[in-house]
Chain A
Amino acid sequence: MGFYFAQLLTGLANASSLFLIACGLSIIFGVTRIVNFAHGSLYMLGAYIAYTLVTTIHAGPFGFWASVLLSAAAVALVGAVIEILILRRIYRAPELFQLVATFGVLLIIQDATLAIWGAEDLLGPRAPGLDRAVRIFGEPIPEYDLALIVIGPVVLGLITLVFRKTRWGVLVRAATQDREMVGALGVNQRWLFTSAFMLGAFLAGLGGALQVPRESVSLLMDLSVIGEAFVVVVIGGMGSVGGAFVAAIIISVLNAFGVLVFPQISLILPFLVMAIVLVVRPYGLFGSPASAHGAPPVPEAPMRPLNQAGIVAMTLVVVAFAALPVVDDGFILVLAVDLFVAVLFAASLHLIMGVGGMVSFGHAAYFGLGAYAAALAVKTLGLPMLPAMLFGPLAAALGAAVFGWFCVRLSGVYLAMLTLAAAQILWGVTFQWQSVTGGDDGILGVWPASWASREVYFYLALAVTVVGLALIRRIANSPFGYTLRGGRDSPTRAEAIGIDLKAHQWLGFIIAGALAGVAGVLFAFAKGSVFPETLAIGHSIDALIMVLLGGVQSLLGPLFGATAFVLIEDWVTRLDYWRFIFGAIILLICIAAPDGIAGGLSRLWRLVRPGTPRSGRPA
C-alpha cells in the first residue's frame, strides 16, 4: 500500500515538471502556431542557469527560490531574443518550415551550452529546507517532491487567473481560438506573439530550474524531454493549458506504475497512450479542429512538365554520377552512396508531405524497417543480398500500412504527432527486443554479396535511386498523384467529386513507406550494419530538413535538399561546435529562402530572366 502510494506521489511530482514544460509549449503553439522544437533547449538552459546561480548564491531557501525565478526570467529573455530575431521572420513560411528553424535553434543552444558549461554532467545541491524525506505510510518521500506536487497546480491556477482576468490573457485565449480574427480587431500581434513566447520560455526555464535538485544537469536534457512534452501537448489538445495538466498527470502516473510491470516501458508508453488517445479523439482531449493547422499555406504554382532543357540537365547529372568511379574509387564513392540513400529517403518523404500534404515526423520508421528487414533476412534467414533486399520495402510497406491506417484519419499537427509516435514505438521495440534486433548493439556484418565490389554496389545504388526517383516523379504527375494533391488543397472538394480521399492517402503513405524502405536497404548494405538510430527521431528530422531545405513545393526540392544536407553534414561534422554551425546554416536558409533551395533558385532565375512566367502567387 505505502509503496504504491509513494509511486503515485513520484508520478505526480514528475507530472508537475512535465506540465511546466508542456504548458509553455502549448501556449506558444496556441498563439503563434509554431511547433517549438527548441522548447527542450529552453528547459535545459533553465537548468544550467539555475545550477550556476544556486551554486554561486548561498543564501538558504530564499536564495534558492530567487535563483529559480531568476533563471526562468533569464530564459524568458532568451526566448524573446529567439522570437524577435528568428521566428518573427518565418511566421508566414510554410507550416513546418518553422519546425526546422526551431531545430536549428536547438542545435545552436546545444553547442552554446557546451561551450559555456562544458560536457561534464553537473550535480546541483538539494533545495535548502527541503532536503530531507518524510515518511508517508512508512515510505520515504522526498520533501522536494511534495513541493513540486504543489507547484504544478499553483502554476496552473496562476495561468488560469491571468488568462481569465487580464486583457492580455483574454487576447492569448482569443488568438488560440482564431488568430486571424484577433489580427482583424487591431491587436498588436507582434507584441502578443513575443510576450506569449516569453511566457512559454519562462515556464520551460522554470521547469528546468526546478529539476536541479532532482537530477544532474546534462546536455541530453533537451532531447530527452521534448518527446514527452510533445506527447503531453497533443494528448491534452494543442493550445489547451488545462489539457496539458491532465495529460501530464496521465502520462507521469501511468509511467510510474508501468515501470513496475515492465521496466523499459517508459520508452514507448507515452507514445502508445498518445496513439490511443488520437485514434479516439483526433484533436486530443481538449483540442478543437481549428487547433490542428497553422497559418494557411500560400497556394503553390501549378506543376509544369519538365522541359527539354530540364530533361537534358537531369540526364547529364545521372551521367556525371555514373562517371564518378573513373575519378575516384574510394571515399567519394562512399559519400555518393550516402547521397543516393539520402536523396531517395527525402524524395519518399516529399511524396507524402509535398504531394500528399501529410507531414510525417516519423518517416525514419519505414527507412529503419527496411534496413532491419533486409539485415535480418541476411543474418537470420541466411539469404543472399538481392533476395534479402526485397524484404526491406515489403516490411516497410507493411509497417506503413498498419500505422498509416491510423495516421490518415488525422490531419495537420496531430497527424504529424501520430507519425512521430509510430516511429518512437518502433524505435522502442527495436531498442529492447535484444534477442532479434540486437538492441543497442544493432546488427553487424550485413555486407554486400561478394560479387558486389564497392564500384558495383555504387552502380546498383545509383540504378535503384534513379528508378525510385523516376517512379516518384511519375506518381506525382499521374492521376493518383493529382488526387493526393487535390486532397491536400481541398479535402472537401475531393470528397465532393466522389474521391475516397482516406483510401488514396493510405495508399500514398504505403508507397512512400516502401520507398523509404528501399533507401533503408541501400543504407544497410552500404554500412554493413544497422542500429536503432536509423529509426530515431533525429533521423526523421534529418529527412524533414532535407525536404524543407530543398523546398516542399518542388519535385526537385528533395534532390537539392538531400545533396546540400549530405555535403554540409560531411564537411561540418569534422569541425568543433559543428552543431552550432549547422544550426546557423539551417536558420540562414530558413530566413533567406523560406521556399527552400529550389524555390530560392527559381526566384533568382526570375530576377535574371524577368520574362519567365511567375508562379501562381497573387501579385
Chain B
Amino acid sequence: MSVLSVRGLTKTFGGIKAVSDVSFDLEKAEFLALIGPNGAGKTTCFNMLNGYLRPDAGSVKLDGTELVGIRPRKVWRMGVGRTFQITETFASMTVRENVQMALISHHRQTLDITHRARALHVAEADALLARVGMAADADRATSELAYGDLKRLELAVALAHRPKVLLMDEPTAGMAPSERIALMALTGDIIKAEGVSVLFTEHDMDVVFTHAHRILVLNRGRLIAEGTGAEIRANAEVQAVYLGGGSVFHGEAGGAHG
C-alpha cells in the first residue's frame, strides 16, 4: 500500500490552472522524482502536499489520513518532513543545536524553561549528524558552513522526527556536480536503511535518472508521464516537452558523469 496517495490535485491562480488533476502514489521506501520544465507546477504541487497551499480540489492522504486543510506544522507532526530549495537553518546556532531544535519540537518541549536547550537530546542529535556524515561539525557555527554542508544539515534536521515521507524541493540546486551525487547517494542510503519515502523535484536529469526509482513528469500542470528512467526516456511526449530533449537525457542510468 502506498504511504502517500495523491488524487485529483488541482489549483488555479487567477484563471490559470497551475496544477490540474494530478494523481500519483508514493510507495514505502520509494525515491520518487517529480520533474518538468520551469513553470510546470512542481513547486505548487509540492506546496499543496504539505499544507502551505490549499488545493482547489483533490486529496492528499498519508496512510489513509487526509492532509488537505491541515496546517503545515500539523502536517509535519503527522510525519511529513521537508527541505527547502534555498536552505533554511538557524544561523545563530551550532550545527548540533539546529538538530536539537527539531528534536525539542518533536518532543513538544518548546515551552520548557527549566532545562538547558543545549543539554537536551545530545546523543540523538549526534547520531543524526553522523547519519549525514557531519559528526565532526557538530560544534561549528551554522553560519560558517559551506552550502553543501548546509544541505546535509537540513537533511539531518528533516530526519529528526522520523518522518514517513520526506519532501525535498530541488535538493541539489546550487551545488557542485560531485556534491550533488554525494547528497543523493546519501539520501538513497537513508531510504534503504530507514524505510522513509522521498519525493523530490529536480532540474538535473543526471541526478534524476541516476537515483530515482520512479519518475513523474509534469507539464503545464498536468502529469504527462510516469515510470522508470528507461520508460520516461522512451516517452515521445516527454521528449517533445524537453525540446531537443536528447541532449538532456544523455545520462545513462548509473553512469552519471560530472
Contact = CB atoms under 8 A, between A and B. Distances in A.
Interface of A: 299-303, 305, 474-475, 477-483, 485-486, 488-490, 492-493, 495-500, 504, 507, 615-618
Contacts of B88: 490, 492-493, 496
A477 B111 contact: no
B118 A305 contact: yes
B156 to A, nearest CB: 12
Contacts of B89: 489-490, 493
B72 A480 contact: no
A269 to B, nearest CB: 37
15 contacts: A299-B141, A300-B92, A301-B141, A302-B93, A302-B142, A477-B117, A479-B115, A482-B104, A485-B92, A493-B90, A496-B76, A496-B81, A497-B76, A497-B101, A616-B143
B94 interface: yes
Contact of A480 (B90, B113, B160, B161): B113
Contacts of B115: 478-479
Interface residues of B, dominant DSSP: mixed
Interface string B39-53: 000000000000000
Contacts of A504: 110-111
B114 interface: yes
Nearest to B88: A493
A499 B110 contact: yes
A499 B111 CA distance: 10
B84 interface: yes
B104 A302 contact: no
Contact of B93 (A475, A489, A500, A617): A489
A499 B105 contact: yes
Contacts of A481: 113, 117
Given A477-B118, A480-B113, A482-B101, 4 more contacts: A489-B91, A495-B72, A498-B77, A504-B110
B30 interface: no
Contacts of A492: 84, 88
Given A301-B141, A302-B141, A474-B113, A495 B97 contact: no
Nearest to A486: B90
B113 A498 contact: no
A478 B100 CA distance: 12
A475 B94 contact: no
Contacts of A493: 84, 88-90, 157
Contact of A499 (B73, B84, B120, B143): B73
B104 A496 contact: no
A619 B109 CA distance: 35
Contacts of A488: 92
Contacts of A500: 73
Given A305-B118, A477-B118, A479-B112, A496 B92 contact: no
B205 interface: no
Given A493-B90, A618-B143, A302 B97 contact: yes
Contacts of A477: 116-118
A182 B181 CA distance: 35
B189 interface: no
A482 B114 CA distance: 13
A496 B89 CA distance: 10
B113 A483 contact: no
A377 to B, nearest CB: 28
A572 to B, nearest CB: 34
A498 B112 contact: no
B124 interface: no
A618 B113 contact: no
Contacts of A489: 89-93
A483 B101 CA distance: 7
